[in-house]
């Protein structure tokens, strides 16, 4: 049997010789997938999805789901069906809504036949004619001295806030807002409609109301007319009218059901030939506003295209049926997975990995958007991250120009292994790998109580998300195809990988881990150099290295899920772990020498737990053994806590019945230090202890 080091060395030679490939796929396999995957076909699927306003439980959501069911069957998936789930609130659909100015001129301001986002979700039926008055941002302070009773209030802020303060507190009949989505500047997007909502269920003793939403340009014009008592050409109609007063007519027709309502997700399968308890779960979400071409029409369409591609290749005999089941989910974002796991607590144990696509079609020259390739959090670092990095790096390197490869190296220009759609651009692939963040469906799988490794593709920043601008004009079929290749290639490899892949997975995981440890070393050295408390800096430096080694040992051991119980594979994994563990002392020795030189001392400080750390070391939490109880009672945020919104759930992810409060604190602090405080903020022991204690008190956790 080769040693792990020999394997890594040989892998490096192979990688150098096949510079245009990833070691996980050969040239034939790469060409097979590139030739068949079609960003143009995915684009056509998005074209259909964009017509529906498809928030949770809406008529448009079910129409989109019906469309996906039909297309998934045509793509060759088996057992395609809609998995119905309860919706916590009532089903809601807006049928018709118009907003007119009747004085000083007659002009239509909004119509959901033009775009659904003109009406805030949650609006109730209305047939109202009333004077329009200015309400500032809609805050209590801005409305304090305003007489709005019986009137419609124009605000620049959130319609939900304005409804609460102007309608339910002060007697207004409705709201017109012109806020922006995602806190974007109105100066940059004057004609964009934000996706807004108000509570569909009013407070006790109050009646439902309505809120229209206009673009900042229209909203500012209405404000200007109210404030200018002079003749003016309003909205460039060619007719001058006196300003100072506006009367609006609002007519709204909606369907609101009883709570709880219904939602759900679409599921389809490619059944494996051997393993049915190691499912590869591919996800994207259907639930979003009208348009939502990129978020997440792009991921939903790519899932259909990947399903079509894999089934076609199987039918044509170009690839073998995968050994593992491939499970496709088109979800009600984040909710569907949590609800499904609570209702089916044994299902996660049958899942090998989750590969998620959200916002994968951005035309990158429009809005300067970058494709983010998102690793799993440190609590579940695994071989999947190494596979992801390898395949993703292949696409990045071969779809960006390099003068040494193209002009000097003889490879095709500008891209060495171009992935282009017929109607897509030939732009480069602006992409980068980033640490985990919890903003889409991948977050459901990496939960500590679920334990399924997951990676995701999400572009950011996005100027068009959750607005009327998220539509077909800013989608690039080429970027769809590149991202589909990354997911399809990983799916293809994982579908056939067995114990024979142990050495390759070990080599790539070990090498990637060594890069992570190099970053840990850099962070540790920085702590020694910059922390004003020298003892604390030394303690943090040791903590980062210690937790880094534990992380890499977890990653190497995760390969057991592919290698199964094969004795040779288990020995190889044990050998790699045996080589990883001694690195801790070697790194600490390097840090020690650096500390002594930097501080002109002969000894490093002794590391001793303080009273709070000693107390935290005595408390060992476990998760509730009932999944529904855990998710129903857990808390991920506390008043006054400084924990980053991504790090707070990560605290709970490390709970395993073995780690103490202090162990969990160290793990999460090391993760935050490795990424940087600008990314994950600062982790304090007190915040970790309070969060864990709160979950014990709530019943989500129990103390051993």
Residue 285 and residue 466 in contact, taking contact as beta carbons nearer than 8 Å = no
Average pLDDT over residues 333-342: 97
Burial level of 447, CB count in 10 A (0-12/13-18/19+)? Answer: buried
Read off the pLDDT band of 12 (50, 70, 90). very low
pLDDT above 70 (res 13): no
What is residue 96's predicted lDDT score, i.e. its pLDDT?
98
Q: Looking at the DSSP assignment, which residues form a beta bridge with residue 213?
A: 177
For the stretch 40-74, pLDDT in tens is 999 999 999 999 999 999 999 999 999 999 999 99
Does the N-terminal peptide bond of residue 260 adopt cis geometry, omega within 30 degrees of 0? yes
> Rounded to an integer, what distance in angstroms lies between the CA atom of residue 464 and that of residue 13?
44
For the stretch 257-268, pLDDT in tens is 999 999 999 999
- The residues near 223 (Cβ < 8 Å, ≥ 6 apart) are 134, 154, 156
Burial 311-344 (b: 16+ CB within 10 A, else e): bebeeeeebebbbbbbbbbbbbbbbbbbbbbbee
For the stretch 202-233, pLDDT in tens is 999 999 999 999 999 999 999 999 999 899 88
Does the N-terminal peptide bond of residue 104 adopt cis geometry, omega within 30 degrees of 0? yes
Residue 437 and residue 374 in contact, taking contact as beta carbons nearer than 8 Å = yes
Residue 390 and residue 15 in contact, taking contact as beta carbons nearer than 8 Å = no
Sign of CA dihedral 3, 7, 9, 13: positive
- Average pLDDT over the chain, rounded to an integer: 94
DSSP-derived secondary structure letter, 313: H
pLDDT above 90 (res 18): no
Residue 211 and residue 135 in contact, taking contact as beta carbons nearer than 8 Å = no
What is residue 460's predicted lDDT score, i.e. its pLDDT?
95
| Closest residue by Cα to residue 401 from 424, 428, 425, 432 | 428
What is residue 136's predicted lDDT score, i.e. its pLDDT?
97
> Rounded to an integer, what distance in angstroms lies between the CA atom of residue 65 and that of residue 287?
9
pLDDT above 80 (res 5): no
Question: In the chain, what is the straight-line distance between the N-terminal and C-terminal CA atoms, in Å?
Answer: 42
> Rounded to an integer, what distance in angstroms lies between the CA atom of residue 322 and that of residue 385?
21
What is residue 411's predicted lDDT score, i.e. its pLDDT?
87
> Rounded to an integer, what distance in angstroms lies between the CA atom of residue 92 and that of residue 200?
8
SS (H, E, C) 433-453: EECCCCCCCHHHHCCCCCCCC
| Long-range contact pairs involving 636-644 (C-beta distance under 8 Å, separation at least 24) | 636/691, 638/687, 638/690, 638/691, 638/694, 641/687, 641/690, 641/691, 642/681, 642/682, 642/684, 642/687, 643/681, 643/683, 643/684, 643/687, 643/688, 643/691, 644/672, 644/680, 644/681, 644/683
Read off the pLDDT band of 14 (50, 70, 90). very low
pLDDT above 60 (res 92): yes
For the stretch 25-42, pLDDT in tens is 999 999 999 999 999 999
Kindly indicate whether the domain formed by 4-56+263-496 is annotated with CATH number 3.40.630.10: yes
> Rounded to an integer, what distance in angstroms lies between the CA atom of residue 462 and that of residue 442?
19
Topology of domain 99-256, CATH: Glucose Oxidase; domain 1 (3.50.30)
| Closest residue by Cα to residue 64 from 56, 54, 72 | 54
What is residue 20's predicted lDDT score, i.e. its pLDDT?
56
Please work out, in degrees rounded to the nearest 5, the angle formed at the alpha carbon of residue 70 by the alpha carbons of 287 and 35.
90
To the nearest 10°, report the CA torsion of 163, 168, 174, 176. Answer: -20
Average pLDDT over residues 153-180: 97
How far, in Å, are 101, 102, 114, 684 from residue 135 at the CA level? 18, 20, 26, 41
For the stretch 615-666, pLDDT in tens is 999 999 999 999 999 999 999 999 999 999 999 999 999 999 999 999 999 9
> Rounded to an integer, what distance in angstroms lies between the CA atom of residue 311 and that of residue 321?
9
Does the N-terminal peptide bond of residue 517 adopt cis geometry, omega within 30 degrees of 0? no
| Closest residue by Cα to residue 263 from 45, 54, 445, 48 | 54
What is residue 41's predicted lDDT score, i.e. its pLDDT?
98
* DSSP code per residue over 204-237: TT-----EEE--HHHHHHHHHHHH--SEEEGGG-
For residue 110, count other CB atoms closer than 10 A to its CB. Answer: 23
Residue 587 and residue 518 in contact, taking contact as beta carbons nearer than 8 Å = no
Where are the domains positioned within the chain? 4-56+263-496, 99-256, 618-704
Phi and psi dihedrals of 572, rounded to 5? -65, -45
Average pLDDT over residues 171-187: 94
Average pLDDT over residues 387-399: 97
For the stretch 562-576, pLDDT in tens is 998 899 999 999 999
What is residue 564's predicted lDDT score, i.e. its pLDDT?
85
Read off the pLDDT band of 1 (50, 70, 90). very low
Average pLDDT over residues 67-88: 97
Residue 544 and residue 674 in contact, taking contact as beta carbons nearer than 8 Å = yes
DSSP-derived secondary structure letter, 676: -
According to DSSP H, which parts of 85-179 are helical? 140-143, 159-162
> Rounded to an integer, what distance in angstroms lies between the CA atom of residue 472 and that of residue 297?
10
């Amino acid at each position: 049997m080769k040693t792990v080091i020999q394997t890594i060395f040989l892998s490096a030679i192979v990688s150098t010789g096949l510079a245009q490939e990833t070691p996980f796929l050969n040239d034939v396999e790469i060409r097979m997938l590139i030739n068949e995957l079609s960003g143009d076909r995915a684009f056509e699927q998005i074209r259909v999805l964009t017509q529906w306003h498809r928030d949770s439980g809406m008529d448009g959501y079910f129409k989109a789901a019906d469309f996906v069911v039909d297309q998934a069957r045509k793509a060759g998936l088996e057992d395609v069906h809609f998995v119905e789930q309860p919706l916590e609130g009532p089903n809601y659909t807006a049928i018709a809504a118009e907003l007119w100015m009747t004085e000083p001129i007659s002009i239509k301001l909004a119509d959901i036949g033009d775009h659904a986002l003109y009406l805030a979700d949650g609006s109730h039926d209305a047939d109202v004619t009333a004077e329009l008055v200015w309400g500032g941002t809609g805050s209590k302070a801005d409305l304090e001295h305003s007489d709005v009773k019986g009137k419609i209030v124009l605000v620049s802020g959130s319609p939900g806030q304005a409804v609460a303060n102007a309608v339910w507190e002060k007697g207004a009949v409705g709201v017109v807002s012109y806020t922006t989505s995602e806190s974007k500047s109105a100066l940059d997007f004057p004609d964009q409609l934000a996706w807004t909502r108000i509570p569909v269920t009013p407070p006790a003793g109050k009646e439902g109301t309505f809120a229209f939403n206009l673009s900042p340009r229209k909203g500012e014009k209405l404000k200007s007319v109210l404030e200018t008592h002079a003749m003016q050409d309003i909205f460039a109609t060619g007719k001058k009218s006196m300003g100072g007063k506006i009367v609006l007519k609002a007519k709204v027709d909606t369907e609101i059901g009883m709570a709880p309502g219904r939602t759900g997700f679409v599921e389809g399968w490619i059944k494996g030939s051997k393993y049915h308890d190691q499912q590869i779960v591919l996800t994207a979400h259907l639930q979003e506003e009208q348009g939502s071409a990129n978020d997440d029409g792009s991921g939903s369409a790519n899932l259909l295209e990947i399903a079509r591609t894999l089934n076609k290749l199987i039918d044509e005999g170009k690839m073998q049926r995968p050994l593992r089941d491939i499970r496709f989910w088109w979800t009600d974002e984040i909710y569907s997975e949590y609800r499904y796991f609570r209702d089916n607590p044994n299902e996660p144990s049958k899942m090998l990995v989750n590969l998620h696509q959200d916002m994968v079609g951005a035309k990158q020259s429009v809005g300067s958007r970058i494709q983010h390739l998102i690793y799993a959090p440190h609590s579940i670092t695994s071989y999947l991250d190494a596979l992801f990095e390898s395949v993703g790096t292949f696409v990045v390197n071969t779809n960006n120009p390099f003068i040494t490869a193209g002009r000097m190296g003889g490879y095709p220009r500008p891209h060495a292994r171009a992935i282009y759609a017929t109607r897509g651009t030939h732009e480069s692939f602006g992409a980068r790998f980033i640490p985990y963040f919890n903003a889409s469906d991948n977050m459901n799988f990496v939960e500590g109580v679920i334990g399924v490794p997951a990676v995701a593709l999400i572009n950011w920043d996005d100027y068009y998300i959750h607005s009327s601008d998220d539509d077909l004009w800013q989608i690039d079929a080429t970027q769809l195809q590149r991202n589909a290749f990354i997911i399809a290639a990983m799916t293809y490899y994982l579908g056939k990988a067995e114990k024979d892949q142990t050495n390759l997975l070990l080599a790539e995981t070990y090498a990637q881990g060594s890069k992570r440890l190099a970053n840990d070393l850099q962070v540790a050295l920085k702590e020694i150099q910059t922390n004003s408390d020298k003892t604390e800096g030394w303690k943090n430096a040791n903590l980062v290295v210690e937790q880094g080694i534990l992380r890499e040992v977890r990653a190497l051991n995760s390969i057991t899920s592919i290698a199964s119980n094969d004795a040779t594979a288990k020995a190889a994994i044990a050998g790699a772990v045996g080589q990883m563990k001694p690195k801790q002392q070697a790194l600490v020795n390097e840090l020690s020498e650096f500390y002594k030189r930097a501080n002109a001392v002969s000894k490093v400080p002794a590391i001793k737990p303080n009273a709070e750390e000693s107390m935290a070391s005595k408390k060992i939490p476990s998760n509730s053994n009932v999944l529904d109880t855990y998710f129903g009672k857990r808390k991920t945020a506390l008043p006054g806590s400084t924990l980053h919104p991504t790090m707070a759930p990560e605290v709970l992810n490390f709970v395993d019945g073995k780690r103490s409060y202090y162990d969990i604190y160290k793990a999460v602090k090391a993760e935050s230090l490795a990424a940087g405080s600008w990314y994950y903020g600062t982790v304090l022991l007190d915040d970790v202890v309070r969060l864990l204690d709160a979950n014990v008190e709530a019943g989500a956790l129990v103390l051993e």
